[in-house]
Structure 1
């Protein structure tokens, strides 16, 4: 679920310690802001409504044979929500890798020691894992606990119910080593591991039930999404190896961005990448390759792709749409009110993520009525939640700006100074 890039809040905050706000690329924040709204829609319906599409493509072992959770029949509204929410995870991870690459390049140009950069990465990674376990996972599992009517169902597996936030955290830890090789090599290694994980997915699915708990946990964290079970040591629907791929792609784009070519050149690069990616998607989909869920001759079946784990067709479609969104928001005038609203959301992703989960989960928890309403009603709840979240995000940004401490380059390696700048 996403939703995940949340990470950008801390990335942008730290990059601003060594660069002014004028160096930000507004179209990144605007795109991320729109993605956050789609994520909130998906999660609002998760807590409030029935009929939402989820777990499409999930590999299942049925009587010894590997099958994949079908897309199934759905209403047009549920289908549209599925399409919008599917942009979220690849979009967040791509932008996360992109912004992180820009941030680290600026730190390196400012003379920041390599040890300080590594310190930043592992601290961010551990923070995100902490937030996943103690903030996000309890929110997602609140329906199960309330419906059970007892805390006895709460197990280690419910806390270690990992999702997009932990994928970000582990990816940060991966980059502790990955940043020491060229971004092209890192992207190549990530792509190779992703393709291997796709190739061996049936074997992993068959062996999973017979593995020991530790082996299952590692398999689930790295490669294989599985149906949630409170008796499992770890649950994870965003395994790191397939989902690190869009982050490595963003890392590559961020490292190959050069200011001397200008933002207009970068926008054209996004436009070309988007058109190329979508063209490849249609070629692959029409040829019947690149996805576990085959097109059934209907429009919904054609775009009903495997998300758990993400198939090549899934990445081609949704990363292509993300590229085009980046280009579209570059073309949107700076004075646009819509752009300003999205930018305010997009600059506070980590705050938004943790706040919106509990905002949408708390009320149905108190009412003990999860998934008890229609999709239309859930959409209304989503809009109401955004009205509440917007001033909260603006207030958070104001607070963050007033508490920012500009750290001298000579003190960037001092943890006490870094902490002042990260409050």
Structure 2
């Protein structure tokens, strides 16, 4: 009797280390959003170095997470035929968008009537997976996928200087190209005081995922490890060089040029204050350049710190879901501990509950909550990572 060997799942620790690191850093920003709020860290009129750094360090998270999702999609393809991979990515993309709209939107707002549905990084990953799935279904070669990724990645900021006419004011254009953050053009009125907030325009992030998918070929088991590290290192250095040169001379790649400010600190902040919404070339160049270098230098590194990062990096989506709800549990506990009443739970002009005027913590308090958060989450992440290693249920591939 002939048996067919089932490809064995394997994990690449350097990917899990970097992914775990950015997942922890990401939680700083979400903790600040809930517990600190204002002033706006990127507003040069009110910010200060530590506040800006608290925001800036988290810029590295979304690009790295999206890029590594593309890498993981390629690795998943080593265990599936192209049509199977396309189907898997398409279904997983739809699942991620549904989770974003239902579980994560509620986890952010605590609003049971869903006054606002928020499309953030999970939507960007899910939507990009669907587009990648369609390309794979159409039998697009790696060269074609890479070319499309390069054109989007390096070329989408041309739309900052091109007048697209009335199409630039439409919802599809905002959804795909121009929306971002809490800007007015990303708010879609559904009527009856319900809205969709498009925080992440899809196509710029799709370019990041497509390039991640191409770079996933570097992680095939037969690929030379030394060559992989060099490729990652030199590509990362190249992106950082592009960022520095283009940014210094304000050549191209970001709609908000930097300028000399009244103090050296503010000038430095202005230089690094690149545009995330929608993500600019210089934003992704600065962040992904650093991520690629980390992937290179951390490969093969084993110590207590990397072991902890691997634990978080093994279960990024599980961690992402859990961290919102744990943050909100802490949020509600502090709300009542600080003396606020149930009459102050309902929003006053915004769709977010438990955020009355006067609620909040100092920046030091934000970091304190963040440390408590990631410490508590280590234990469920460790349990779920071990569970995934010892179980093979189909639904585990969606978490």
Which TM-score band applies after superposition, normalised by the shorter structure?
0.7 to 0.9
Tell me if 1:166 matches 2:123: yes
Structure with more contact order per residue of length (Cα contacts < 8 Å, sep ≥ 6): 1
Distance change in 2, residues 1:422/1:229 (3 Å): closer
CA contact (8 A) 2:235 2:289 kept: yes
Match of 2:328 in 1: 361
Distance 2:76 2:233 in 1: 23
CA contact (8 A) 2:242 2:285 kept: yes
Q: 1:350 aligns with which of 298, 314, 317?
A: 317
Tell me if 1:223 matches 2:177: yes
Distance change in 2, residues 1:81/1:421 (3 Å): closer
**Structure 2 unaligned blocks of 5 or more:** 1-5, 261-266, 336-344, 346-353
Distance change in 2, residues 1:53/1:348 (3 Å): farther
CA contact (8 A) 1:242 1:310 kept: yes
Distance 1:394 1:261 in 2: 30
Tell me if 1:399 matches 2:387: yes
User: How far did residue 281 of structure 1 move?
Assistant: 1.1
The 3-state SS of whatever aligns with 1:273 is helix
The 3-state SS of whatever aligns with 1:200 is helix
CA contact (8 A) 2:254 2:281 kept: yes
User: How far did residue 113 of structure 1 move?
Assistant: 4.0
Query: What aligned pairs does 1:321-360 form with structure 2 within 5 A after superposition?
Result: 321-330=290-299, 332=301, 334=302, 336-360=303-327
Q: 1:32 aligns with which of 19, 27, 30?
A: 19
Q: 2:209 aligns with which of 240, 247, 261?
A: 247
Query: What aligned pairs does 1:184-333 form with structure 2 within 5 A after superposition?
Result: 184-193=143-152, 197-201=156-160, 207=166, 215-216=170-171, 218-225=172-179, 226-227=183-184, 229=187, 231-232=189-190, 234-289=196-251, 290-297=253-260, 298-330=267-299, 332=301
- Name which of structure 1's ranges 220-229 and 169-178 shifts more when overlaid on structure 2: 220-229
Distance 1:255 1:379 in 2: 38
Q: So what's the TM-score if we normalise by structure 2?
A: 0.81
Distance change in 2, residues 1:308/1:419 (3 Å): closer
User: How far did residue 395 of structure 1 move?
Assistant: 1.2
Distance change in 2, residues 1:277/1:134 (3 Å): same
User: How far did residue 49 of structure 1 move?
Assistant: 1.1
Q: For 1:264-321, what per-residue CA distance to the aligned partner results, in whole angstroms no more than 9, with x for missing partners?
A: 3212211111111111111111111222222222111111111111111111111111
Distance 1:345 1:36 in 2: 7
Distance change in 2, residues 1:183/1:53 (3 Å): farther
Paired residues in the alignment total 356
Match of 1:384 in 2: 372
- Name which of structure 1's ranges 357-366 and 189-198 shifts more when overlaid on structure 2: 189-198
CA contact (8 A) 1:404 1:422 kept: no
Q: 2:101 aligns with which of 110, 133, 154?
A: 133
Distance 1:361 1:202 in 2: 41
Tell me if 1:81 matches 2:54: yes
Q: For 1:305-341, what per-residue CA distance to the aligned partner results, in whole angstroms no more than 9, with x for missing partners?
A: 1111111111111111111111232152x2x000000
Q: For 1:2-39, what per-residue CA distance to the aligned partner results, in whole angstroms no more than 9, with x for missing partners?
A: xxxxxxxxxxxxxxx73244xx2100000000000111
Q: For 1:58-101, what per-residue CA distance to the aligned partner results, in whole angstroms no more than 9, with x for missing partners?
A: xxxxxxxxxxxx65441222111222100011101111111211
CA contact (8 A) 2:187 2:198 kept: no
Distance 2:213 2:330 in 1: 39
CA contact (8 A) 2:76 2:85 kept: no
Distance 1:91 1:245 in 2: 13
